[in-house]
Structure 1
Amino acid sequence: MPLARSRLGLLLLGALLTFLLYLLHPDAGKRGRPAANATARTGMAAGELPVFYREVSAGPQAGGTASPGRPDVLFLHGQAFTSKTWEALGTLALLAGEGYRAVAIDLPGYGDSPPAEMVATAQGRVAFLDRVLQELGMRRPVLISPSMSGRFALPFLLAQGDQLAGFVPIAPVGTKDYAAEQYHRVQTPTLILYGDRDASLGPQALQSLRHLPRHRVAVVPDAGHACYLDKPEDFHRALLGFLRQLK
């Protein structure tokens, strides 16, 4: 009996030591925790309008602080997509690594953002984006607007383009709703971007957006309407080239 008790005591002591070593190990408890550069998923309250957004903090930009002199970048999305698209493509992480604060939102009624009555009109959509910029603390960001999100971005550009450091329309809808004279008045630097296999919205948007006086055009080869999905490396190269020349 004394021998059995001694062995049991040693086993219990060994188990206790193993447990203590686990707790003291530098990797202990990391499972289930977000990594230092994980995407922040937060419900953002814009007045009474909750909006879901994604933002990646990485490297020296941890905490959402961008490098001096580099504009913030706000990503909208197309009808079949959400803010998750820009996370999955690595776009948010890429820009964070380059020193930009990059944020992607779910537009009202998409992804994790609930519907909002105010965005039923163009004026309401302008007010919506204005409030989003205020609540996110984004001053003169670059606005990225693919496809359906043109219904939000274009009226904002024409009404408050001076609040943007740059504009990147990616085959947006709604370009025919405005006259050439309206586009002529906008002084926001613009990168008109579309895939060369987009035979519909890409060229159609170009016909209207070419009236923006400070525009340049980038055509992504062998890419369709969602050119950023078809050729992400080419898309990222064009986007970063545009961002780097902004002042």
Structure 2
Amino acid sequence: MLALRAGRQCQRRPEPARRRKGSRGRAWAVRAARASTRLTGPSASKSSLRLAATAANPNPPEGSARCPRESKSPEGLHSRPPLAGPKGAPQACAWAEVLEQVSGAQSGAVRSPLPPLGGAVGLDPAGPPGGQGAGQCGTRPAEAEAEVAAGGAQRGEPRMMALIRNRLGLLILGILVTFVLYLLLPAIQHERFTARAGGPKPEPRAEEKGQGDANTTVLMRTIAGSPAVSYREGFLLQRAGTPSPSRLEVLFLHGQAFTSKTWEDLGTLTLLTEEGYRAIALDLPGYGSSPPSAAGSTEQGRVAFLQRALTELRLQRPVLISPSMSGRYSIPFVLAHGAQLRGFVAVAPVGTEEYTAGQYQQVQIPTLIVSGERDTGLGVQSLQSLRQLPKHRAVVLPDAGHACYLEKPREFHRALLAFLGELQ
């Protein structure tokens, strides 16, 4: 705004008398150049503009045109004519353009230094030859405007490109990290489970049974009804297609943090199927693929749930395997319907302290009590209660915790197969 007002005022200035070329004109140009250079930064203010104007021309030459507004604002920007030079009004109008560049640099519109005074903006300390253009406001050439605009663009483009590259790099890095975590998390979980299980799945032992040409598969099925019950069962496939002989049936329950898939991943279903047993693992209500059911909220409902499972699966006196939380289902069922079972394997089940020694002594089925050496909670408590069973045998797996069958699968399978062999 100051530059535009200065340009308008200079149009009304009288044409000054021509002056002799000399050292005074050159000194004035040098002072003006230094003042304009100090004002290219963003911190330039109106007071600094007045100082620069004063430094550029403290004593204007005689005959130079003055701005008519000087007398109106002695404290303002034109208290000393910053736009007057040795050559009068044409130079004053050129300096109005310089002031416009300085104001643009102050507001952030122009970020590049001012072009040389004697070139781009047409300031000649000696004045225009022959007095041409005297009394007229000189205008900045289009080349100078293009140079100033190009300078600002050249300095702004690298900063913008660097900012875009940095943000794009962070975005790509975040996507890569997310993708790597998505790929690695399943593998890490599987590795942790394998480490807890103590090693790979047991090797098939079909050759020991004389069935070298047989293999096994585990299928997931559902018992229809309300509620539906999902389960996994191992099947023995024979090349000749001969029917499988009569087998001892084994029914697996699971703990609080597990499902029927735990016995499949551990290799227990495959191992028992290859050993000639019918192995089935249930998903209790609200676990795995079995929907929640009100049957699990009461003791009578839990006993009825197991009774229904045995009926629907057509199990004839199976061996019941019950770890941890599933004791809420197995212990009352054993006490109420123990005659329907061939045997009972208790792996540190819960709820054993809720029943008396007299109730346990009425159970006459063979029982294997399994616990971990480091399980000083449920392992010790269940062992003390279940010792009241008349036909029990206890096995403590060394250096194992509560889920001893996961930490020591080989030892657990060895003890289980030995117990099942005794039942046959």
Q: What's the TM-score bracket when you normalise by the shorter of the two chains?
A: 0.7 to 0.9
Give, in angstroms, the shift of residue 49 of structure 1. 1.9
Q: Which residue of 2 aligns with 1:193?
A: 370
**Letter of the 1:99 counterpart:** G
Q: Which residue of 2 aligns with 1:130?
A: 307
Query: What is the SS of the residue equivalent to 1:218?
Result: strand
Question: Using a 3 Å threshold, how does the CA distance of structure 1 residues 95 and 199 change in structure 2: closer, same or farther?
Answer: same
1:81 aligns with 2:258: yes
Question: Using a 3 Å threshold, how does the CA distance of structure 1 residues 160 and 62 change in structure 2: closer, same or farther?
Answer: farther
1:153 aligns with 2:330: yes
Q: Which residue of 1 aligns with 2:384?
A: 207
- Computed over aligned residues only, the root mean square deviation of the Cα atoms, in angstroms, reads 1.8
Alpha-carbon distance between aligned partners in 2 of 1:245 and 1:140, rounded to the nearest angstrom? 15
Query: What is the SS of the residue equivalent to 1:49?
Result: coil
**Gaps spanning 5+ residues in structure 2: where?**
1-214
Question: Using a 3 Å threshold, how does the CA distance of structure 1 residues 182 and 49 change in structure 2: closer, same or farther?
Answer: same
Counterpart of 2:316 (choices 117, 122, 139) is 139
Alpha-carbon distance between aligned partners in 2 of 1:62 and 1:175, rounded to the nearest angstrom? 47
Q: Which residue of 1 aligns with 2:232?
A: 54
Counterpart of 1:41 (choices 220, 242, 249) is 220
The normalised TM-score by structure 1 is 0.81
Q: Is the 8 A contact 1:170 1:193 kept in 2?
A: yes
Question: Using a 3 Å threshold, how does the CA distance of structure 1 residues 215 and 152 change in structure 2: closer, same or farther?
Answer: same
Q: Which residue of 2 aligns with 1:102?
A: 279
**Gaps spanning 5+ residues in structure 1: where?**
1-35
Alpha-carbon distance between aligned partners in 2 of 1:242 and 1:62, rounded to the nearest angstrom? 31
Give, in angstroms, the shift of residue 119 of structure 1. 1.9
- Residues 112-151 of structure 1 deviation map (CA, whole Å, 9 limit, x = unaligned): 1001112211111111100000101111000000000000
Greater Cα shift, 119-128 or 174-183: 119-128
Give, in angstroms, the shift of residue 191 of structure 1. 0.1
Alpha-carbon distance between aligned partners in 2 of 1:124 and 1:179, rounded to the nearest angstrom? 21
Give, in angstroms, the shift of residue 42 of structure 1. 1.1
Alpha-carbon distance between aligned partners in 2 of 1:107 and 1:61, rounded to the nearest angstrom? 34
Give, in angstroms, the shift of residue 67 of structure 1. 3.8
Q: Is the 8 A contact 1:61 1:99 kept in 2?
A: no
Q: Which residue of 1 aligns with 2:415?
A: 238
Query: What is the SS of the residue equivalent to 1:55?
Result: strand
Question: Using a 3 Å threshold, how does the CA distance of structure 1 residues 205 and 136 change in structure 2: closer, same or farther?
Answer: same
The normalised TM-score by structure 2 is 0.48
Alpha-carbon distance between aligned partners in 2 of 1:144 and 1:81, rounded to the nearest angstrom? 14
Query: What is the SS of the residue equivalent to 1:167?
Result: strand
Alpha-carbon distance between aligned partners in 1 of 2:244 and 2:406, rounded to the nearest angstrom? 26
Give, in angstroms, the shift of residue 60 of structure 1. 4.5
Give, in angstroms, the shift of residue 222 of structure 1. 1.2
Alpha-carbon distance between aligned partners in 2 of 1:207 and 1:66, rounded to the nearest angstrom? 40
Flag as ranges the 4+ runs of structure 1 deviating above 6 A: none
1:168 aligns with 2:365: no
Q: Is the 8 A contact 2:370 2:394 kept in 1?
A: yes
Give, in angstroms, the shift of residue 62 of structure 1. 11
Question: Using a 3 Å threshold, how does the CA distance of structure 1 residues 199 and 139 change in structure 2: closer, same or farther?
Answer: same
Question: Using a 3 Å threshold, how does the CA distance of structure 1 residues 217 and 66 change in structure 2: closer, same or farther?
Answer: farther
**Letter of the 2:218 counterpart:** T
Give, in angstroms, the shift of residue 221 of structure 1. 1.0
Aligned residues: percent identity? 62
Alpha-carbon distance between aligned partners in 2 of 1:66 and 1:181, rounded to the nearest angstrom? 41
Q: Which residue of 1 aligns with 2:354?
A: 177
**Letter of the 1:49 counterpart:** P
Q: Is the 8 A contact 2:217 2:270 kept in 1?
A: no
Query: What is the SS of the residue equivalent to 2:291?
Result: coil
Alpha-carbon distance between aligned partners in 1 of 2:394 and 2:239, rounded to the nearest angstrom? 30
Q: Which residue of 1 aligns with 2:73?
A: none
Q: Which residue of 2 aligns with 1:18?
A: none
Higher strand share: 1
